[in-house]
Structure 1
Amino acid sequence: MDHLVLEIGLAVTLIALVGLIANKVKFSVIPFYILIGMAVGPHAPKFGVFDFRFIESAPFIEFLGRLGVLFLLFYLGLEFSVGRLMKSGKNIAVGGTIYIIINFTLGLVYGFSLGFPLEETLIMAGITTISSSAIVAKVLVDLKRTANRETEMILGIIMFEDVFLAVYISILSGLVLSGSSSLGGVLLSASYALGFMLLVLVVGRKAVPLLNKILNIRSNELFLLLIFGALFLVAGFSETIHVAEAIGALLVGLVLAETAHMKRIEHLILPFRDFFGAIFFFSFGLTIDPTALGGAVWLSLGAVAITLFGNVLAGMLAGKSAGLSPKASANIGLTIVSRGEFSIIMANLGKAGGLMELLQPFAALYVLLLAILGPLLTKESKLIYTGMNKVFRFDRKKAKEKEPLKEPDVSN
Structure 2
Amino acid sequence: MGGQGSLFFTDLALIFVAAVIGGLAARQFKQPLILGYVAGGILISPFTPGPAVSNLHNLELFAEVGVILLMFSIGLEFSLRDLMRVKWVALVGGPMSIAASMGLGALIAPLMGWDTRTGLVIGSITSIASTMVLARLLMDRGELRSEHGRVMIGIVLVEDLAVVVLTVALPALGADAGGFSVVWQTLGQASLVLIPLGIVATLLVPRFLNRIAQLHSPELFLIVIVALCMGTAAVSQAVGLSLALGAFMAGIVISGSEYAREALGHLLPLRDAFVALFFVVIGMLIDPGVLLGNVPLLLAMIGLTVVGKFVIGLGVVRAFGYSIWTAALVAMGRTQIGEFSFVLAQVARKANLIGPDVYNATLATSLITILINAALFKQGAKWLGGRRLKRESARPEEDSSEWDQHIVVCGFGRMGGPAGTAFETFGLPYVVIDIDPEVVRKAREKDIHCLYGDPAHLPVLEGAHAERARLVLITLPEADRAYLTVRNIRQINPTVPIIARAHRRADFEALLEAGATSVVQPEVEAAATMISDALHLTGVTPERIDVYMHQYREAMKLAQSSRFQVPGAMPELHTVSAESLNAEGKSLRDADIRHRFGLTVIAVRKQNGESLFNPPAGTVLHAGDQLQVLGLEKDLEEVESKEGGQS
Could you tell me the TM-score, scaled by structure 1's length?
Answer: 0.84
Partner of 1:274: 272
* Cα offsets for 1:53-93 (capped at 9, x unmatched): 2023x233223311011111111222211233245433421
Do 1:235 and 1:246's aligned partners in 2 also have CA atoms closer than 8 Å?
A: yes
Do 1:96 and 1:160's aligned partners in 2 also have CA atoms closer than 8 Å?
A: yes
* Cα offsets for 1:96-139 (capped at 9, x unmatched): 13322222222222334312124422321221111111111211
Q: Distance in 2 between matches of 1:209 and 1:342?
A: 31
Partner of 1:227: 225
User: Higher helix share goes to which structure?
Assistant: 1
Do 1:331 and 1:381's aligned partners in 2 also have CA atoms closer than 8 Å?
A: yes
Q: Secondary structure at the match of 2:294?
A: helix
Q: Which runs of 5+ in 1 are unaligned?
A: 390-412
Q: Distance in 2 between matches of 1:197 and 1:296?
A: 42
Say whether residues 1:13 and 2:14 are aligned partners: no
Deviating more after overlay: 319-328 vs 126-135: 319-328
Q: Distance in 2 between matches of 1:356 and 1:7?
A: 30
Q: Which amino acid aligns with 1:294?
A: L
Q: Distance in 2 between matches of 1:345 and 1:111?
A: 22
CA drift at 1:193: 5.2
Q: Distance in 1 between matches of 2:117 and 2:321?
A: 38
CA drift at 1:10: 2.3
Equivalent pairs, count: 381
Q: Distance in 2 between matches of 1:211 and 1:378?
A: 41
CA drift at 1:301: 2.3
Q: Which amino acid aligns with 1:75?
A: S
- Among 56, 59, 76, the residue aligned to 2:57: 59
Partner of 1:190: 187
Q: Distance in 2 between matches of 1:208 and 1:83?
A: 19
Partner of 2:176: 179
Q: Distance in 2 between matches of 1:384 and 1:181?
A: 49
Partner of 1:328: 326
Q: Distance in 2 between matches of 1:385 and 1:85?
A: 25
Q: Which amino acid aligns with 2:187?
A: A
Q: Which runs of 5+ in 2 are unaligned?
A: 389-647
Deviating more after overlay: 14-23 vs 252-261: 252-261
Q: Secondary structure at the match of 2:213?
A: coil
Partner of 2:376: 377
Deviating more after overlay: 376-385 vs 135-144: 376-385
Partner of 1:286: 284
CA drift at 1:228: 0.8
Do 1:74 and 1:249's aligned partners in 2 also have CA atoms closer than 8 Å?
A: yes
Partner of 1:34: 38
Deviating more after overlay: 22-31 vs 178-187: 178-187
Q: Secondary structure at the match of 1:127?
A: helix
* Cα offsets for 1:13-53 (capped at 9, x unmatched): 121011101000001222332233233223335x6xxxx22
1:110-125 equivalence runs, <5 A: 110-125=108-123
Partner of 1:3: 7
CA drift at 1:362: 1.7
- Among 213, 222, 230, the residue aligned to 1:216: 213
Q: Distance in 1 between matches of 2:141 and 2:191?
A: 30
Cα separation, partners in 2 of 1:106 and 1:197, compared to 1, 3 Å: farther
Q: Distance in 2 between matches of 1:184 and 1:128?
A: 25
Partner of 2:160: 162
Partner of 1:305: 303
Cα separation, partners in 2 of 1:275 and 1:132, compared to 1, 3 Å: same
Do 2:64 and 2:278's aligned partners in 1 also have CA atoms closer than 8 Å?
A: yes
Q: Distance in 2 between matches of 1:335 and 1:83?
A: 22
Could you tell me the TM-score, scaled by structure 2's length?
Answer: 0.55
Say whether residues 1:295 and 2:293 are aligned partners: yes
Do 2:290 and 2:364's aligned partners in 1 also have CA atoms closer than 8 Å?
A: no
Q: Distance in 2 between matches of 1:187 and 1:278?
A: 36
CA drift at 1:203: 5.1
Q: Distance in 1 between matches of 2:43 and 2:100?
A: 35
Deviating more after overlay: 152-161 vs 14-23: 152-161
* Cα offsets for 1:204-235 (capped at 9, x unmatched): 55557535534424211111111111101111
Q: Which has the higher contact order (CA 8 A, sep 6+)?
A: 1
Cα separation, partners in 2 of 1:372 and 1:190, compared to 1, 3 Å: same
Do 1:41 and 1:285's aligned partners in 2 also have CA atoms closer than 8 Å?
A: yes
Larger Rg: 2
CA drift at 1:329: 1.8
Do 1:340 and 1:367's aligned partners in 2 also have CA atoms closer than 8 Å?
A: yes
Partner of 1:363: 362
Q: Distance in 1 between matches of 2:196 and 2:147?
A: 25
Q: Which amino acid aligns with 1:304?
A: I
Aligned identity (percent) is 25
CA drift at 1:239: 1.4
Partner of 2:128: 130
**Alignment RMSD, CA only?**
2.6
Q: Which amino acid aligns with 1:21?
A: A
